[in-house]
Structure 1
Amino acid sequence: MVTGLSSQVIYEEFNSTKLQETRRLKIQLPRNYDANTEKVYPIVLVFDADYLFEPVAGNVDYYSYWEEMPEAIVVGIMQGRTRDFDGQYDETNFLPTEKGADFFEFIGLELIPHIDKNYRTAKFILAVGHEFTANFMNYYLFKDPPLFNGYLSLSPDLAPMMDSRIAESLSKTPHKIFYYLATGSNDLKPIREVTLELHENMKTINKENIHYYFDDFEGASHYSLVGKAIPSALEEIFSIFRPISKKDYDEIILNLKTPVFEYLMTKYTTIEDLFGFKTEVRENDIIAIASAAERKKEWTSLEQVAQLASKEHPDTVLGSYYLGRFFEETGEPKKAMRTYQSAFELEEVGFITIDMLLDRADKIKQDFGF
């Protein structure tokens, strides 16, 4: 779990060659960014940062604090006076033109390379836009590969043909894409109608590499839906990242037909594949899988969990405890006793205490006369 100082917020004046002007950026770095010098972080790129930055950055900080999503670098683009020009599109082909084309190139050719150069970034970018900018960010879907891995589209004011273009692009791309779309029952009528049309098109896409989520918030307006949609989107998009829950344990893990250790490895491999960074296997996830291995009498899985715990958390009692349990269950009590005793100077974890390990060692000694 992330602890320590609060997130750092930095303001930057970025001199853009493409735009021939200076743009103001607002950047939130994760807690302990300066201390964790080897760690890399996904980017959350926020359009309309004049009013969207704080709700996005606050939710990212909150969810990452509780390990519900990875820590991330939040980059906001202030667009108060330039918004209409930034999203400008041609009235015949409905693609970026003039200032809109310049802004499109500014994001891909200047801003993202600048962030990658100056901060420790992972190769995952989630873009967030509302209304006009929620339309604009879709143009990056038409690139190969798309610039963004995730799209958080809040009540989008879509250009003509965009609803079909988005669905067509997603149906053809081989890349993993996360797409979240939100409207509300009290949304602006024209925007709500075209959003629902896009939703109907998106429902026809049935591809493993496309992760699509949709919310229609009852009673929410064009503006109030933003506060509901951001946490909902983060929960959906980063669901694989969350720690193993009791529901996961009861409904999935205990009913697996394959070894439970494979479930754990698949979870963390998927995190690396989707978000572009490796993360330490959590202590609680190790305990959950080890508990399931014991309950299902999967002793090979238990041994593998013990070895993983020793590698990921070498200063704790986790590896010793579960390796001792493996030796006990597979008929090697002397090895179990010595393994428990060897953990005397290690750190306790949850219910696994030094006294507990020494008690198990003493019981083996008494039972077998060692």
Structure 2
Amino acid sequence: MAKNIEQPVVLPSKLANHDVKFKVYLPDGYKDDSDERYPIFYTTAGGSRINVLKEQLAWLSHVGFGALPKVIIVTVPYIEIETDMEPKYISASGINSDLTIEVLNQEVMPYINKHFKTHPFNILEGFSSSGNFPLYVLANKPELFNAYISVSPALALDKSGLLAKFDNRLASPDYKNKSLYLSLGSFTSNAPLFEGLEKKLNQYAHNNLTWHTEDFRTDNYMTGPMVGVSKAVQKLFSDRSPSDMTQFKASGVKGVEVYYDNLKAKYGYELSSINTLMDLSDMQIEDSKYTDAIKTLKLVVNQSPENAYYLTRLAKAQLAAKKNRAAKQTYNKALILAKAKGDDESIQFIQNKLKVLKL
């Protein structure tokens, strides 16, 4: 599992009139001198929950076909205000939410984008009494984030008229390419408010906001964030690797290229199509379209020329097409890469394949 690198940040805030503190967790493999960039996962989690969350996100992203890409995690700073209210109720009430939004928008997010290798795709997540904040931002400044995750929000504790803020707004073009995941926890006082928001989503959000709700009221409250976050990111990023490959049966590589061009409009950056191209090649081989499969896999190899595995997949397709000489050349290229990386398992696999080829 990936291990996140923790970087505490103390940032003087002119807006809050005090230093704001937050933490940045960098994903495994993050390098300042690399061209690779990452979406940002802003979270209200703190205390013991942040430890669980960072490991959960690391697990969900540690392989290319995981539920989400690797992300930079940033904790949302707590903005101090003068009040006698208990901290957990402050978060739920919304009384410091406007100021928190401005601090994020004008100070924290520019700092993150300046000092770290970021993609222009921002996620905001919150649970329980802090789960109201993602909804508050979505209602008041939806352009600030691309995706919102609100797990078991304490809607009954809100003092800001939060749900009324959504009235007649959800059909606005401000919600185009925005996503919401919302779940209901086990506290019964939140149920009518949750159902009211669901009704508004059903009424207004057909053409713009993409949303999904879950009902966890029969589950233990403390399982909510683990189950909810996993389901939320799975829903959010499921289109990175489409499961229905039949949509590309006729269009082939060109169809995949068009599909990922459309994804770029949602995410704001170019996503890798390699996993989908690999799935496309499998379908082409199953349909005995070996020439098409070889062309598809050569495109994959050109995108990742240092990956021995992709070369072995190309060689397999060449063998299926009875192109044994080409397959042998491809396996030899893969063997050179595997030896350079000291990958003993791949070396053994490729050498066994070469022994079978009699040329």
TM-score interval for Structure 1 and Structure 2 normalised by the shorter chain: 0.7 to 0.9
- 1:238 is aligned to 237
- Contact 2:20/2:79 (8 A) holds in 1: no
- 2:75 is aligned to 76
Q: Distance in 2 between matches of 1:323 and 1:15?
A: 57
1:258 aligns with 2:245: no
- Contact 1:86/1:103 (8 A) holds in 2: no
1:169 aligns with 2:169: yes
- 1:130 is aligned to 127
Q: Distance in 2 between matches of 1:291 and 1:124?
A: 31
Structure 1 residue 312 displacement after superposition: 1.8
Map 1:1-370 → 2, pairs under 5 A: 6-34=3-31, 37-50=34-47, 52-66=49-63, 67-79=66-78, 83=87, 99-142=96-139, 146-156=143-153, 157=155, 158=158, 161-166=161-166, 168-173=168-173, 175-184=176-185, 186-187=186-187, 189-205=188-204, 207=206, 209-242=208-241, 248=243, 252-254=244-246, 257-262=249-254, 264-266=256-258, 268-282=260-274, 285-298=276-289, 301-315=292-306, 316=308, 318=310, 322=314, 325=317, 329=321, 336-347=323-334, 353=350, 356=353, 359=356, 362=359
Task: Say if 1:217 and 1:273 are closer, same or farther in 2 by CA, change over 3 A.
Answer: same
What are structure 2's unaligned runs of at least 5 residues?
Answer: 82-86, 339-345
- Contact 1:25/1:78 (8 A) holds in 2: yes
Q: Number of matched residues?
A: 336
Q: Distance in 2 between matches of 1:100 and 1:162?
A: 11
What are structure 1's unaligned runs of at least 5 residues?
Answer: 90-95, 363-370
Task: Say if 1:328 and 1:138 are closer, same or farther in 2 by CA, change over 3 A.
Answer: closer
- RMSD value over aligned CA atoms? 3.6
Alpha-carbon displacement from aligned partner over 1:200-243 (angstroms, at most 9, x marks no partner): 2213345454321111114235544223212221222122235x
Alpha-carbon displacement from aligned partner over 1:279-325 (angstroms, at most 9, x marks no partner): 4444x654432121122244563243133123123243745864895
Larger mean Cα displacement after TM superposition, 39-48 or 221-230 = 221-230
Secondary structure of 1:62's counterpart equals helix
Q: Distance in 2 between matches of 1:309 and 1:107?
A: 39
Larger mean Cα displacement after TM superposition, 271-280 or 23-32 = 271-280
- Contact 1:343/1:354 (8 A) holds in 2: no
- 1:368 is aligned to none
Secondary structure of 1:220's counterpart equals coil
- What fraction of aligned residue pairs are identical, expressed as a percent? 15
Structure holding more helix per residue: 2
Structure 1 residue 33 displacement after superposition: 0.8
- 2:84 is aligned to none
